Structure formats: structure tokens, C-alpha cells
A and B are shown apart, each in its own frame.
Chain A
Amino acid sequence: MDPFSADGELTTLHTYFHQCLYPAVLSYDLSPLSDSNKLPATILQLRAHLALNQYSEALSVCASNKGKVDFDAVAICARYMQAKDRGDGSSVTKASEEASALATKEGDNATVQILCGTVLAGTENEDEALELLSRHQGSLDAVALIIQIHLQQNRLDLAKKEAQSARKWAQDNLLVNIAESWVAMREGGEQYQSAYYVFEELAQAPATQSVKSLLSQAISEMHLGRLEESEAALKQAAELEPENELVKANQLVLLTLAGKRDEAAKAKPELEKSGFAQDLAEKKKEFQAACERYQPKFAA
């Protein structure tokens, strides 16, 4: 059973992690935990390092525990994320291969499932990732990943099914709520509102406020057409982390949505390297290519 489930010792830690309160995860005192829970807790802390882009910290811990499957999995993921941040394509491929290998060997290990699943999903091996993750035994993290992969593949129906079955056994667990909200954001209609409630609850309680939750709230508001409210939430997020690329990207979307052309034009260059900017740049090329098909004549 999942050691993070509602009655487990690690509930708080797990909740912190998914509320994105990574510093709180890292400063969590592991000493009073029972021995069987120490390992999952440590892995969770390592994942918090990864979330904070502190790869070297994670890697050094893993190095000193080399040979233990869980730590190896973390190490692979850390290397993958590091490589991805640097745009180092060959390292990414290498990490993917490592992940695949470890998955075949130790596919029943929950840590391997989650971390290697992440790497595989991130390197376009979604089917392999799904196969690996489906072997989970009551791990909500795995379920959340599965849902996200389904959504990335635009399989709303499967994502929904997964969320529903998770809701049955995990009930009101925070992660289920969040994952359900991801699904809801795709589904739309009244579901937007439910997603908004979940995100807003997280974002507006001072204890659980984080950039991610604020951003999620802002996005749900954008989808609901409440641009002003969304702007306020985004501003809050930007105050917390002015350099966060996702915040900037969504700010650009919001400005565009609101028809604020000049401000949007100003915001765009700030986005240099991010995936969103790359996508836009690609689209621009596509546009110019499409223009080529027409040969306008101009009068003198």
C-alpha cells in the first residue's frame, strides 16, 4: 500500500510535496519516522531537490548511495532534467536509455516507476512510460503521472477513467483533487469551475500558497473568462518568483487575451528560450512558409 496514504506517517510530507512547498519538504525532520518509511521520505526529499532544480544536491546524495535502486532512479531523473535544462540532447537520450533499462529490470519498484516514468514520458516514450506506471500498486504519484501522460496524448477519456478510479480508493487526497482538476481543465464547461475551486483553495490559503497553485488558479480563471481576477493571481505568482518562465509565458497569454497588444509585445522577448517561445517561433516560421504559397502583386 502507498505509504503516503491518508493514515500513513508520511501524509504531511506527501501533501507538502504536492502543494509545492518544497522547502518544507526538505526541512522535514525524518528522524522520528519508522524505518520502513525513511527511504520513501528521503526519496521525496530528493524529488523536492529536483523540483527546485538543485540537481547537484540530489546527485551527490545519490552518488553516496550508489547501487540502491531507488537512488539510481533519482539519479537518472536528475541527469535527465539537468540535461534538458541545458538543452543537451545526447545526455537526454542517454538518460532515456538508462531509464528504460532500469525500468525493465526493476519495474516493480515504486520509485523507479515514478522517476523513470517521468524520464520516459519526457522523452516521447509515452507508451513505455504508461506500461511501466501501470504496474504501480496504489501509488497516487504514479496515477497522477498516468493522468498527465494521457492528457498530453489528448486522451481525455482515459485520463478521466483513471481519475475516477483513483477517486474511488484515494478519496479526497490532495493529489487526486489536483489530477482531477487537470482533467477538468480539459473537459471544460462546469468542470472549469470545479478545477478553479480546487486551485483557488490551494492558492488562497496562506499556508499552501505557491507559485504553482497561484498559476493554476490564474489559468483556470483565464479559461473561465475572468481575466481581471486571473491577472491578480498571476501578479501574485510573479511577485513570488519573478523569473519563472511559466509565469511569464502565461502572463503573455493573458495580455494577448486581454487585447493588450503593446504590453504583450514587450513581454514576448523576455521569454527567450522557454518551450512556449520555441513553439511560437516555430509557428512563425510555419506562417511564413504558408505565406509563400501566395504571390501577391502590388500596384506601383
Chain B
Amino acid sequence: MATITCAHGGQRITAVNSAAQAVGIVPKQSLADARTLYPSLTVHQADPTADLKALNILREICERYTPWVAIDTFDNTPSNVSLWNTGLWLNITGCAHLFGSEEALLEDLFYLLKNIGYQARAGLASTPGAAWALARYKTDPQTKRWFISNTNEDIRNCIAELPMKGLRLECDIIEGLERMGLLSIGDLYRIPRAPITRRFGKSVLHRLDQALGDLEESLSPQRGRSTFSKYLAFIDPIGRREDIEAALNRLVVSLCTDLEQANQGVRRLVLTLYRVDKSTGKVQISTSQPRRDPTHLSMLFREKLETIDPGLGIDAIVLSASETNPLKVRQTGLNTNSIAEQTENVIKLLDRLVSRLGSDNVTRLEPVERHLPELASREVSTASIPSGVKQDWRGPTHYPSRPLQLLVHPLPIDVIAEIPDGPPFLFYWQNHQRRVMAAEGPERITPEWWLIRGNMWKTKPLNNDVRDYYRIEDKDGKRYWLYRKGLYHPDNHPTWYIHGFFA
């Protein structure tokens, strides 16, 4: 049996089955030639789209072995209408051990494919290029179905004897190489590289390096479309915000019904707008917990809809859930003001705030075990720490009084002190001279010893990094937190900084 297509001035064979191959029928042959070899050849019209569809189904099947499955559409037959040479890439890095071994994985794969009626060949190597060549042009004498090469050194020997076709090159380049007597890939190892590049372009050596692992090659997996996706097309393009909102609300409601049936909640939703001028716009929202509450989700979008530019009009919108998590149906209480209800409300509020202001701007404070006050706490996004977590704000030792307001970056100030290592007597802040009426201190804070610059033993690095903090009250009763950086030394005059304000 063979499939045919109309190309190159006649009907030509595009693909053959093994029986036809046995009598000598090959792709690219004209149908007349094939019929002379085997008069009762069954032929079918080739259907590339159906082939691709079938390959896509196979890709989905193969996703059980690895998430990294891609369709290989490289085809070096001159008439690019068949999928004769295409196949699937499976990047099984880190997946083989789940099946026991690489052989066991392939065994399983072949068994599965055989059951659904496919004959397959496989090549396994540490580079995609070598695997491609091995799958097509080499067979293990024992298994007859696949070939596995383990090490990089092995690849070199394995593919050396394979025909030049194994390098994924254009048809005319292969012909050119063969005319020069370079029949197998191994022939390329021995000859100088420069003349090849000059004659055939970069692609020959590029493909060779990729096969040998000297050049990186990345495969991009085609991920399946999100299962939770809704589509709405308009008869007339829409442009008003109210219209978009109404359409969006309809999609959100129907999407939520789907989610409810699947017991799923959405973590991330993407709204794609297809404009009249073929451009697309994207709006994305994310929630801190899985949700499928239509009103809440629409509200999150409402904040973002302001940023949408409808352009000349929007033809269609697609709403798809790019990230979902299981969400069980929950019984709501009759008491509307319960703690659970309140926590729920707070989470909804946080979602709204985050969607408008960004997750960097909606934070909670978290203590950090560091000595310097500005490093002793940090702001983390509310998604990463929930409320009600017990935090230790006292630090390793109970601190003396800390200010309510702490400057992120201490500001240098001019200070007059009575004695160089005493508390300040007068300082300037916001263009005003402040008389110090009372001072408390010093509280000496140094960075952790492993962070101190310089050699601890030779120089006296402590002198520069030590901070002596003073609590100061000025004439008006305002309280400040000042510090002197570094110790006083006749040739080292320490600088003063303001770091915080007490109430």
C-alpha cells in the first residue's frame, strides 16, 4: 500500500508500508514506476493534515513518558507534502528511572504503540541530532527496533557509519556531499572544516556539531491547550469597555461552571483579545488561592480592563485558565460574619489589591535574623506568608527600644558632639538645627562578623563598620535614632547618620 500525491508533473508516492518497501517501492517514485514494480499496488491520496492530527494524538499519548514531547517536522524529501520523515521528540532526561531503565521505557512505549497499530523505530542518544539519525538509519542487531547510545564518545562512533541523510540536511546539500565522495557522517570528521563551510554553507557543520553535542540544541515542547478555555466571537467588532466587560462576564460564568464540574479552582486566568487588525492583546490575573467564584474573578478583571486598548475593535475573546488547582465544594455557614468568612474576604481583598498594584506592593513584614536594623525585617508578598503565623520579633536578644519608622537607607547628617565618642550635642535635620536635650546610648550594633570587609586579624575592620546608636530627644520633644559609623580615631573622623524616628 502507498499514499500518493500530485507533484512534479505527475502522481508520486509519498509514503509506503513495509510490504511495498519490500518490493522496492520508495517515496518520491512516480506512481507509474511503482506500478511496474508491483502492478496491484493499493494507493490512497495523501492527507498531510490528517497525518499531523494523528501525530498530535501520538504526542499526547507520549506525554505519559515525559512532559517534554515535541513534534519533529523536519523533512528532507524534496516534495514537502508528506510527513514521511517526521517523528516525535521525547526528552526523557530524568524520566527513565521512573520506568526502571531506558530500555524498559522504550519497551513500554513500543508495546503501547503496537497495541494501537503503529510500527515504530527509536533512537536514544544524549543529543537530539544523534537520536534523530539513529532512529532512522541504525538498528540494534539484537532488538531490531531501537538503538541506544550512552556516552558522548559512543555517539561519535555510532553515527560515523550512518549515511549523510542522518544529519538533517537539505536534499541538494546531501547530493553535493555525496558527489564529493562524502557518503557517511564519519567522512566529515577527517576533512578540514573551512572548505566545507565555504562550499555548502554553515548548515553542514552546524548539524554535525549538534549531533555530536558540541552545539546546544533545544527542543520546544508543544503543550496541550488548557482544558478550561472559553471562546466568544462577535458578529460585529466591539470596542466599548462595557461591552468587553459583559462578554467577559459571560465567559467567566461558563468557565466557572466547567471548573465546578471538574472540582477545580483557577489560579491564573488569561484573557486574549483578537483585534480586527490581527493583533492580540493579553490580560492576566492570578489569585492567591484556587477560585471559581464568577463575581470575584470578574472583579479582578475589571481592575485590568482599564489597561486594554481595543484598537479598531475586538473580533473575538478567549478566556483560558492557564493554571488550575483542585478545589472542593465547601459548605458555607449561615453565620455570615464567621472567622472563615472574614478570612475569605481578606483573601479576596488581597487578590484585588495585588491585581491592581502588583504583588511587590502588597506585603507583610517578616523578621530576619540579622544584626543591622534595616536588615532585621523584610517585606514579603502576602501570597508567601499567611496571617496568623507565629513570628519572633524579639530577635536573639531582646532589643532595646526600636523606632516605629525606620529609614530604608540611613541618611548622613551633620552632627556636633561634645567629645568625639560621646552622644551628639547638636545636629541638622531638614534644614533645621536641633539641640539635643537628652540622649540615651550608645547601643553598639555591628554587622555579622562574616560580612565584615577586610582581614579581621590584620586591620581593625570593626572600626569602620561598628555603629553606635543613640536615642535622641530634641528641644521640641521629637525623638530620633542616630548612629555614628565607625570608631573615633585621630585620623578617622566617624560620620553620623539618622536612621529612624520614635513616637
Q: Do A and B assemble together?
A: no
Interface residues of B (CB under 8 A from A): none
